[in-house]
Amino acid sequence: MARVDDYQMSFDLAAQQLAGRNFLDVARRAGARPADDASYCELDYYGRPVRVTHQPMTVSALDDGPEIPLAEQALILHYLVNADGSEPQGEWVTFREVPSGEFYWSAFVKRAKDPLVGFFGHQPELLLELAPLVGGRPTQEVSGDAVVIVQAFPRVPLLLQLWAGDDEFPADGNVLMDRTIAGYLSTEDIALAAGLPIYKMMALARMRRG
């Protein structure tokens, strides 16, 4: 399990990589909204407005929600570092199809697929209800009892696909990515990003229950 020190090191390394870059160009490639003086950029992150300042490098939410955890701050910087400017194609692929996806498959299943199926498999309507709170919307692009597209970053959509379980068949599901995702996130970061909306929705559901 990664420690806080690991997340801080990851954040600091990404901050160093961004420090010497033209922030206007970084923002353009990432689909973010830059300040006129390039001192910061803003972007939507799972439905939340976020600001990234350039010098010093900081990541903060612009809404009244909770502070963004350090691991997610590092993920946001990784997105900015890697962004190549490619537009999503609307062509969905499985995690196994991203570079080195087989190597990180077990991490992806643990972080994304199993929580999606385990928590929402017998209540697919809850997935549809909560998705808008994490930057998602229902879609019928692919088959499933509940299917939503979550906008993790401006150019990183994720498709959550769920088949409800019943007495005859167990629940099943998957998280699909746009084919261009490797131009924005490393494979390890893709596994993390795929699980984040699920955990965020699980936390929202538990809060509602009191």
Q: Where do the structural domains in the chain lie, given as residue ranges?
A: 4-82, 92-209
Between CA 56 and CA 184 the distance in angstroms is: 23
| Upstream peptide bond of 66 is cis (omega within 30 degrees of 0) | no
Between CA 78 and CA 30 the distance in angstroms is: 11
In the chain, the largest separation of any two C-alpha atoms, in whole Å, equals: 60
pLDDT of amino acid 161: 97
Burial of 147 (0-12, 13-18, 19+ CB in 10 A): buried
pLDDT of amino acid 3: 76
Per-residue pLDDT reduced to its tens digit, 35-83:
999 999 999 999 999 999 998 999 999 999 999 999 999 999 999 999 9
Check: CB of residue 98 under 8 Å from CB of residue 190. Answer: yes
**Residue 88's pLDDT band (cuts 50, 70, 90):** very high
pLDDT of amino acid 144: 94
CB atoms within 10 A of CB 133: 14
Per-residue pLDDT reduced to its tens digit, 106-121:
999 999 999 999 999 9
Check: CB of residue 42 under 8 Å from CB of residue 50. Answer: yes
Q: Which two tokens stand for residue 186?
A: 């490393």
pTM reported for the whole predicted model: 0.95
**Residue 174's pLDDT band (cuts 50, 70, 90):** very high
CB atoms within 10 A of CB 141: 12
**Is the pLDDT score of 1 beyond 60?**
no
pLDDT of amino acid 2: 60
